[in-house]
Chains A and B, each alone.
Chain A
């Protein structure tokens, strides 16, 4: 019997470990407000689990990161353009970057949960959830969400759920936009 070589990978799968063809994270609708608000969503749910597999014995550690296709891009919603990485830390007022929009997207892996996938003998030791971080144009363009240190299982698989995503919405913005932001979830051996 010939075994296909394994490879380090990250994917979005359902409970039966089948790939989800078009994974998305819905953010809560915020009605029109006169103050700055925060819309929230969860990356990694029971129906859309983040699945990390290392059957290739990548033994010097790996990192899972989130990034947008281009730091200078914006959320698009009809005629509106919205930022996701404004340098103004509060995201309520436009900061000094390449666009004229406020808005800021925060990725918070700290409340997330990591469990072992299909490998019964594996453990979650040395699989590390990272702290909350905001996208900041040209500064924090790639956010680390999870890493496996060299001491983690050399061969194993893990499921990650419950990364909190928070998007600030400045005051006076129309409600319930159908906005979309593409993000890439990447895994890289160190």
Chain B
């Protein structure tokens, strides 16, 4: 079955379902089945080596486990076989593949007769066969790719999500919004999440949207990063989770017209501005403060002029410059106070305001 083929631009080793179903896009990357207790299902996994080296790859099944945050993850080979792991029989446990080749490995899923209703998850894993690194100090790393196997046992299917909480964590660089949603049903649910953050004036500054699986009996705790707002201030975040509550919905299949919406309470939070924002705010405050001070001084001068300048009757030979020199004031101020227009000519016996004599 190993077929030499041309390389793609990049990639590692791993696998994927060999024959995805045309009615469910998700089957291109995970195995999804609804199986009766006691039934058996044939499946095929395509093992792929897109590295530049010939590799011997181990293939094995495992049960699933939630990782931190409630995401789907696979258990290790050495852990106890409890659920889907023990239902899977692979026809091969390792394959050796030349660079840029693949091989299809059949396997069967045999569901026990006494299994409970609802979704059961496991994995088919592909890992490079290596000697253990005994002589190395520190953390030795191996890498593997897991393909989720989601088996739903029909019966009294319960699909129910609840808001479990919503917290905000402030980091140096950003703000992390943590909406938490609990799946109290017996199957995983694809939740459409829309998290909206508004400023104090109600304008949307960021909207996070996405579809995320919430595993059965688990609390999904997602991370949504919010860049620190430039100006800082008070903000309000809230999220809405939409999901298909109908029992007939399944992984990758939901009716968008039948969605149920659950809404979190608003979470108000304050955040300081970014460093640049803080500098900008300080400059703006200084500029506004200085402008206010100048305005205040101008207003005070205006009042003083109105209360203290006196009337003067223009004499023959006076002009605005000679009067400005005589009263020790700028000719521009004299023109402004007396609303004189260019060319600022004065008439004999005209009454104008002038500073009081010292």
Contacts and interface: CB of A to CB of B under 8 A. Distances in A.
Given A65-B71, A187-B145, A7 B176 contact: no
Contacts of B28: 56-58
B262 interface: no
Interface in B1-24: 5-16
A73 B165 CA distance: 34
Nearest to A152: B210
Interface in A39-67: 41, 43, 51, 53, 55-61, 63, 65, 67
Given A58-B28, A130-B68, A186-B73, A7 B14 contact: yes
Given A24-B139, A26-B138, A43-B139, A189 B78 contact: no
A143 B66 CA distance: 9
Interface residues of A, number: 75
B50 A4 contact: yes
Contact of B9 (A5, A55, A60, A185): A55
Contacts of B75: 141
B231 interface: no
B74 interface: yes
B296 to A, nearest CB: 49
B102 interface: yes
Interface in A1-19: 1-12, 17-19
Of A1, A69, A149, A151, most B-chain CB atoms within 10 Å: A149
Interface string A152-164: 0000010000000
B29 A58 contact: yes
Contact of A187 (B26, B141, B146, B213): B146
A117 B169 CA distance: 29
A3 B6 contact: yes
B72 A24 contact: no
Contacts of B77: 69
B212 A190 contact: yes
B101 A53 contact: no
A100 interface: no
Contacts of B125: 186
Contact of A188 (B130, B143, B146, B169): B146
B141 A178 contact: no
B66 to A, nearest CB: 7
B156 interface: no
Given A22-B136, A144-B73, A183-B141, A188 B148 contact: yes
Of A53, A70, A189, most B-chain CB atoms within 10 Å: A189
B59 to A, nearest CB: 13
B218 to A, nearest CB: 12
Interface in B71-109: 71-79, 100-102
Contacts of B78: 69-70
A27 interface: yes
A98 interface: no
Contact of B67 (A43, A63, A150): A63
Contacts of A133: 68
A5 B46 CA distance: 9
Contacts of B146: 186-188
Contacts of A22: 130, 133, 136, 140
